[in-house]
A and B are shown apart, each in its own frame.
Chain A
Amino acid sequence: MSEPLIELHNITFAYPGAPHPVFQGLNYQLLPGKHIGLIGPNGCGKTTLLHLIMGLLRPQAGRIVIFGQEVKREKDFVDVRQKVGLLFQNADDQLFCPTVLEDVVFGPLNQGKKPEEAIRIARETIERLGLEGFEDRVTYKLSGGEKKLVSLATVLAMQPRLLLLDEPTAGLDEKTKERLIHILKNLDITFMVVSHESRFLEHTVKECCHVHTSSCEFISIERWRK
């Protein structure tokens, strides 16, 4: 069996001032090649889980191991973020450059790529997502669906080994959802996706994980729908 991409050991996390911890003694493993849906009611910690993996939040106790390396400090997470992509719930949080191309090259340039190469990767990614001709569009003037797809392009342009998606279908119309499903189906990297939509999950993942305070319980799509 291959080495897990992510291992969470006995994670405890509580938001400051909150009466109950979000996680207490949580254990979780993500194996490479998996496409997992994260499910559970609002506020059960799905987004928190993704943010813990990215190091945007730090657990009060427990160990996080990513790609076989234990990550503790900001420095460790800087390396993690080079290989793990997170698509934020709100695309407006993700896009911040004036034009689409500038936003998509932001990641590759941070990875130390030369401008010419960064532009080449960005254009390829934009093309792959069917966004040709968007390069010089102004990011804050895009429609909601376009913003979401461009955000996905900004993350994929970094060629991550693992992709985390936080409610990617929220607020999208059927057509854009179909496009997203198509994109995710043809993606050959491991991903975890938070979603409340059974139809979307059915088409994109094989397994779901119900997030609880102390465990992530694997259930099949069929069982969850019942």
Chain B
Amino acid sequence: MSGIQEPFSEGNSLIHRLDPRGKIIVAGLFAVLVAVAKSMPAALAGLVLALLCLALARLPLKKVIVRLLVVNSFIFFLWFVLPLTYPGDAVLTFGPLSASRQGLTFTALITLKSNAIVIALMALVATVPVVTLGQAMHDMRFPDKLCHLLLFTYRYLYVFEQEFHRLVQAMKIRGFQPRTNLHTYRSYAYLAAMLLVRSYDRADRVFQAMLCRGFHGIFYSLRTFSWHRRDGIFVVVSMLALAVLLYLEWQKPNLL
């Protein structure tokens, strides 16, 4: 019935079986470290680590590639702009424009870093169902508001999607076919507006129903997380790997 799925959260790999709390800590630290890294070896090592996690998580490769394509379609544009605008030694000239070596290196660095972070998040965070993620964050004493924001966003995404399908169906059964004309544009505008109004109302009613069942801002979780030996090992090994990243970054602080 619903098109929103979490294909990466299902699985029985080592990574899937790890305690979500450990994965959140490692993914968070990894993302920060790689994001601030300025040296090529550190970024490369980050990518290798991320790929290692991906291999351990045994995610469906096709879906992983599709997601990476989405991310890289944004980065693709950087390759057009950054090398040409970054000041430095010219290596290629196209008429009045010239690409700098520093610009190219910088763009390559950004590409490596973003891919490393996205892959690591897919392997570590997307392998946890969103609801469990929210509960794990709650368990880790993340601010309540943040956890609720995550859980509610997820929950109402479904509502939005269901309303959307209902409206599209209602249009289809009356013979609507999208064409390039004003009728189509107007109908789509109505659809968007109606979707907003109906989802808002629906969300309001869900919230009322929750209030009626005594909801007072706290989600209680039935899930208790258990920390196994393998989680300890995972966190320690990850910390060592992150230390190596830090060392690489420190050794060669700036390539540019």
Whether A106 and B213, one on each chain, are in contact in the complex, defined by CB atoms closer than 8 angstroms, is: yes
Whether A86 and B220, one on each chain, are in contact in the complex, defined by CB atoms closer than 8 angstroms, is: no
Whether B131 and A105, one on each chain, are in contact in the complex, defined by CB atoms closer than 8 angstroms, is: no
Which residues 78-95 of A sit at the B interface, judged by CB distance below 8 A?
78, 81-82, 85-86, 88, 90, 92-94
Given the complex of chains A and B, what is the CA–CA distance between A107 and B209 in angstroms?
11
Whether A93 and B214, one on each chain, are in contact in the complex, defined by CB atoms closer than 8 angstroms, is: no
* Size of B's binding interface in residues, CB under 8 A: 21
Given A107-B214, A110-B220, A115-B222, does the pair A94, B158 have CB atoms closer than 8 Å? no
List residues of chain A with CB within 8 A of the CB of B222. Answer: 101-102, 105, 109, 115, 118-119
| Partner among B1, B158, B214 whose Cβ is within 8 Å of the Cβ of A82 | B214
Chain B min CB distance to A91 (Å): 10
List residues of chain A with CB within 8 A of the CB of B202. Answer: 93
Given the complex of chains A and B, what is the CA–CA distance between A106 and B131 in angstroms?
14
A21 in contact (CB, < 8 A)? no
Chain B min CB distance to A148 (Å): 13
Whether A81 and B208, one on each chain, are in contact in the complex, defined by CB atoms closer than 8 angstroms, is: no
Given the complex of chains A and B, what is the CA–CA distance between A92 and B198 in angstroms?
14
Whether B220 and A96, one on each chain, are in contact in the complex, defined by CB atoms closer than 8 angstroms, is: no
B81 in contact (CB, < 8 A)? no
Given the complex of chains A and B, what is the CA–CA distance between A101 and B209 in angstroms?
17
A140 in contact (CB, < 8 A)? yes
Chain B min CB distance to A55 (Å): 8
Chain B min CB distance to A1 (Å): 29
B186 in contact (CB, < 8 A)? no
Whether A109 and B1, one on each chain, are in contact in the complex, defined by CB atoms closer than 8 angstroms, is: no
Which residues 203-225 of B sit at the A interface, judged by CB distance below 8 A?
205-206, 208-216, 218, 220, 222
Closest B residue, CB atoms, query A93: B205
A194 in contact (CB, < 8 A)? no
A56 in contact (CB, < 8 A)? yes
Whether B210 and A96, one on each chain, are in contact in the complex, defined by CB atoms closer than 8 angstroms, is: yes
Given the complex of chains A and B, what is the CA–CA distance between A111 and B216 in angstroms?
10
A165 in contact (CB, < 8 A)? no
B63 in contact (CB, < 8 A)? no
B2 in contact (CB, < 8 A)? yes
A71 in contact (CB, < 8 A)? no
Given the complex of chains A and B, what is the CA–CA distance between A70 and B146 in angstroms?
36
Closest A residue, CB atoms, query B152: A96
Whether A54 and B131, one on each chain, are in contact in the complex, defined by CB atoms closer than 8 angstroms, is: no
Chain A min CB distance to B163 (Å): 10
B145 in contact (CB, < 8 A)? no
Chain B min CB distance to A181 (Å): 23
Whether A110 and B213, one on each chain, are in contact in the complex, defined by CB atoms closer than 8 angstroms, is: yes
Chain A min CB distance to B241 (Å): 34
Whether B2 and A140, one on each chain, are in contact in the complex, defined by CB atoms closer than 8 angstroms, is: yes
A205 in contact (CB, < 8 A)? no
List residues of chain B with CB within 8 A of the CB of A82. Answer: 214
Chain B min CB distance to A147 (Å): 12
List residues of chain B with CB within 8 A of the CB of A119. Answer: 222
Whether B205 and A81, one on each chain, are in contact in the complex, defined by CB atoms closer than 8 angstroms, is: no
Chain B min CB distance to A78 (Å): 6
Whether B208 and A56, one on each chain, are in contact in the complex, defined by CB atoms closer than 8 angstroms, is: yes
List residues of chain B with CB within 8 A of the CB of A51. Answer: 208
State the 8 A-B residue pairs at the shortest beta-carbon distance, nearest first: A110-B214, A109-B220, A107-B213, A93-B205, A94-B209, A86-B212, A56-B208, A93-B209
A residues near B, CB below 8 A? 51, 54, 56, 78, 81-82, 85-86, 88, 90, 92-94, 96, 98, 101-102, 105-107, 109-111, 115, 118-119, 140-141, 154-155, 158
